[in-house]
Structure 1
């Protein structure tokens, strides 16, 4: 099978291996985030505001990984999952929804830390900070609603594409084949759908960093419990800055892929797949590193921290 004439029939094992590694890592990391939130809920009987946003982000990334895995499995195994055009439109809508919701949940997380850390003179922002517990559910509702409508509008670009609206009843093309025919449209749609969330993340992170620097100057020689919180927030913002750099690099590469690679390079579509599937594992890894509670949970679960602590205790007793 040769999707859109871009690649030979036999895809290299290297590409398959990298795609499998990216998807499995992304699913593992986001499944860990969901499990960590559930584990924390069992202990505290409540879910923190930041964990609510992380949960939505992790679920959207898991759904994206499942959809991409389904498309690639259909391509490599010729399952014929998309015999008609209607399942194709439904799949595209779900895929665009996961991409869009991921962007907006990322923006919500950045906006949450911005509200949580910064001091405001505006009544609106002051009310949000005072009522952050009641504001977060409303923000998540708006995030989901915007993602639904944004994905619907984005899907219209594919509905009116001749490459997708043609007769597909005579054979069962894979989703990879269908996407390769409209690869430039798909990249353009992904960029348009996520550019506004990216601007929100970029702006809120910058304002948060500025607010922290101002607060650090005021508390330079003051040792209070607030200073401990500020140091923890500084670590979060530092990691958020790393996320921001990752978003910038990701967008630059996506733009290069859109304007140059897909048009001029035969394997550009597979480069697009590698790029899209790299987003989830890298973002989830940065989020785990940014949260001390998630880092501790990761060490306890995967590095057997409780066993190490038990052995160190026995050695001290001996």
Structure 2
């Protein structure tokens, strides 16, 4: 039976993930209905729909994995963790491509590379999503093979064979799989960081140009750009709050029976829930659908 503190943290974590699942389900339904009607989506909506699908499964896997680990404490949970790692890595890459897409589309840089990307980025989106998915599937296969070997070979071996095999598995995990997981997580984070910094730099330069043209601080265009910069900076903080605890937990795992573990989980998944809410509120299409749904509920 969990202690009152851990029970409270569990309930808070469950509510947090439930909110995130509802938010991403809403995005999937709205964009999915548009895709069914038109058989196509805008590139930004395509990334957003893919991101919402990955986050839906990520948060579902997180809830199942955490509660399964606490109440059953079985090594078979490794298979659940494999699916969680897959959904987590996919979510990382899709979040990064969303930042890259908006960076290229909104930034006002005149460098030939940016101009070429601005012209081509829409056509690149399906390929970026596909290759990200392929990379994540390869990592998923490696993890699945490693886990399958853990469960199969020791059953037929003697004690010395088990010990040797356990050493091999630990060496494989510490010297190959763990560095690979960190590398796969850090690469999209660095892309996200670079895209956000470039976009904020571009928008700040645009604000300075407008000020030189005597545009007052209350000018509508100025207000839009200031809001965009604030939102991007906030998204960067949320993304960092999600990435850093995961990397730390990979390097130094915490027991699921500890209250610190559940605090880490709440911090990690708060970023996803808040970011999904911002994506809904910052999209005119999703905002209209939300207002229509709320108006329908009030009328009913």
TM-score by length of 2: 0.72
Query: Which position in structure 2 is the counterpart of 1:214?
Result: 205
Q: Deviations along 1:239-263, whole A, 9 cap, x unmatched? A: 2221101122334444565677838
Change beyond 3 A, Cα 1:31–1:165: farther
Query: Which position in structure 1 is the counterpart of 2:262?
Result: 270
Q: Secondary structure at the match of 2:254?
A: helix
Query: Which position in structure 2 is the counterpart of 1:111?
Result: 100
Change beyond 3 A, Cα 1:206–1:164: farther
Query: Which position in structure 2 is the counterpart of 1:148?
Result: 137
> What is the 5 A alignment of 1:1-318?
9-10=1-2, 12-41=6-35, 46-72=40-66, 74=68, 90-120=79-109, 123-153=112-142, 191-219=182-210, 221=213, 235-254=227-246, 262=254, 266-302=258-294, 304=295
| Structure that is richer in helix per residue | 2
The alpha carbon displacement at 1:43 in A equals 6.9
Change beyond 3 A, Cα 1:119–1:278: closer
Paired with 2:16 and 2:194, the residues of 1 have a C-alpha distance of 29
Paired with 2:152 and 2:209, the residues of 1 have a C-alpha distance of 59
Change beyond 3 A, Cα 1:251–1:135: closer
The alpha carbon displacement at 1:67 in A equals 1.9
Paired with 1:51 and 1:102, the residues of 2 have a C-alpha distance of 15
The alpha carbon displacement at 1:124 in A equals 4.5
Contact 1:118 1:211 in 2 (8 A): yes
Change beyond 3 A, Cα 1:189–1:230: farther
Change beyond 3 A, Cα 1:306–1:231: farther
Gaps (5+ residues) in structure 2? Answer: 156-169
TM-score by length of 1: 0.68
Paired with 1:257 and 1:74, the residues of 2 have a C-alpha distance of 18
Gaps (5+ residues) in structure 1? Answer: 1-8, 168-181, 309-318
Paired with 2:92 and 2:10, the residues of 1 have a C-alpha distance of 26
Query: Which position in structure 2 is the counterpart of 1:173?
Result: none
The alpha carbon displacement at 1:38 in A equals 2.7
The alpha carbon displacement at 1:126 in A equals 2.6
Change beyond 3 A, Cα 1:214–1:306: farther
